[in-house]
């Protein structure tokens, strides 16, 4: 068995066991969201985090990226901090912590806790094996596009006022988007087919990450794919996918979702 046996399939099983069949450095990108503490009970899962993280390091290609989307439970009045512990462990085993991004929910669940602001975000840690190789950044319009700057002085945070030799170019039209991304959760039409899973992430979130950190025909792995959002979107974007989940029920949802995408021949046979 090799990585190729799992391409463009949803496999039911413990991701740790399934990934052991993969060749080293055979996956271009990972996009996943693990179970958050014991916030939800997924049917009979076990979650050996450290072993899974090490296996991800083994299977990802050099320059490849692991997007790890996670939040913390609040237990006895304190956030667990599991997300930070996991991020530090990823660093310990060799990953770069390339960026700590925020997934902000436009429609967060109202909170029952008192004396606390409503929690409306999760972390999106971007880990890379060595320097990130692929980045197709999302762009946004500059607020002051076209503005001509008078004078030759400018402020630099650390060096204070600086002088440049010639006049600066006008402010450009677009710049790279910031690292806080906002989404409506669970309400968009394209997300409805994932409703039977307790915690799917929005298709648009998967679309933004997959297009940012991979190219067409790449292999995108989601080792805890739940309702198969990563796999469905990877396929739509002409990438190959590998989906794994412990639960037979979630694998069925994932299979249904990917088969609704116009699947032509596998990109990699
Ligand atoms: C937060 S959910 C992922 C949701 C997914 N991103 C989506 O859009 O539907 C986490 C998933 O991890 C699965 N899981 C937990 N432990 C696992 C393991 N050891 N191997 C494979 N899947 C596991 C659970 O069944 C659950 O579906």
Is residue 46 packed enough to be buried (19+ CB in 10 Å), middle (13-18) or exposed (0-12)?
Answer: exposed
Average of per-residue pLDDT across 68-77: 91
Contact in structure between 241 and 191 (CB atoms under 8 Å): no
What local confidence, expressed as pLDDT, does residue 184 receive?
96
Q: Ligand 1: which atom is nearest the Cα of residue 36?
A: 1
Residue with tokens 């806790």: 113
The domains of the chain are located at 3-137+178-260, 139-176
Please give the distance, rounded to the nearest whole angstrom, from the Cα atom of residue 37 to the centre of ligand 1. 12
pLDDT per position as a tens digit, 83-134: 999 999 999 999 999 999 999 999 998 887 678 899 999 999 999 999 999 9
pLDDT per position as a tens digit, 195-225: 888 889 999 999 999 999 999 999 999 999 9
Domain 3-137+178-260: top CATH class: alpha beta
pLDDT per position as a tens digit, 17-30: 999 999 999 999 99
Return the sign of the alpha-carbon dihedral for residues 18, 21, 25, 27: negative
Average of per-residue pLDDT across 61-68: 98
- Ligand 1 binding pocket includes 33 (Cβ within 6 Å): yes
Confidence of residue 262 (pLDDT cuts 50, 70, 90): confident
Share of the chain above pLDDT 90, in %: 71
What local confidence, expressed as pLDDT, does residue 169 receive?
83
Among protein residues, the one with the nearest Cα to ligand 1's atom 3 is 226
**In this predicted model, which residue has the larger pLDDT, 186 or 242?**
242
Query: Between β-strands 139-141 and 153-156, what pairing exists: parallel, antiparallel or unpaired?
Result: unpaired
Per DSSP, 190 falls in state G
- Ligand 1 binding pocket includes 201 (Cβ within 6 Å): yes
Residue 45 has pLDDT above 80, yes or no: no
Helical segments of the chain, H only = 15-19, 49-59, 82-92, 203-213, 229-236, 248-260
């Amino acid at each position: 068995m090799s990585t190729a046996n799992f391409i463009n399939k949803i496999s039911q099983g413990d991701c740790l066991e399934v990934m052991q069949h993969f060749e080293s450095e055979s996956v271009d990108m990972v996009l996943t969201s693990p179970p958050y503490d014991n916030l939800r009970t997924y049917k009979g899962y076990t979650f050996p985090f450290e072993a899974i993280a090490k296996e991800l390091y083994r299977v990802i290609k050099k320059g490849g990226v692991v997007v790890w989307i996670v939040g913390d439970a609040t237990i006895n009045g304190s956030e667990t901090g599991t997300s930070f512990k996991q991020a530090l462990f990823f660093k310990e085993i060799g990953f770069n912590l390339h960026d700590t991004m925020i997934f902000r929910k436009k429609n967060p669940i109202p909170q029952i806790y008192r004396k606390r602001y409503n929690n409306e975000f999760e972390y999106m840690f971007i880990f890379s094996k060595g320097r990130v190789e692929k980045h197709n950044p999302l762009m946004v319009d500059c607020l002051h596009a076209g503005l001509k700057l008078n004078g030759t002085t400018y402020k630099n945070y650390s060096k204070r006022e600086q002088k440049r030799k010639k006049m600066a170019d006008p402010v450009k039209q677009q710049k790279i988007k910031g690292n806080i991304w906002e989404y409506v959760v669970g309400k968009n039409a394209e997300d409805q087919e994932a409703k039977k899973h307790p915690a799917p992430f929005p298709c648009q979130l998967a679309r933004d990450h997959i297009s940012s950190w991979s190219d067409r025909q790449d292999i995108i792995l989601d080792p805890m794919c739940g309702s198969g959002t990563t796999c469905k979107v990877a396929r739509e974007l002409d990438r190959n996918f590998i989906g794994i989940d412990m639960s037979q029920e979630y694998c069925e949802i994932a299979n249904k979702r990917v088969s609704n995408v116009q699947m032509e021949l596998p990109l990699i046979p």
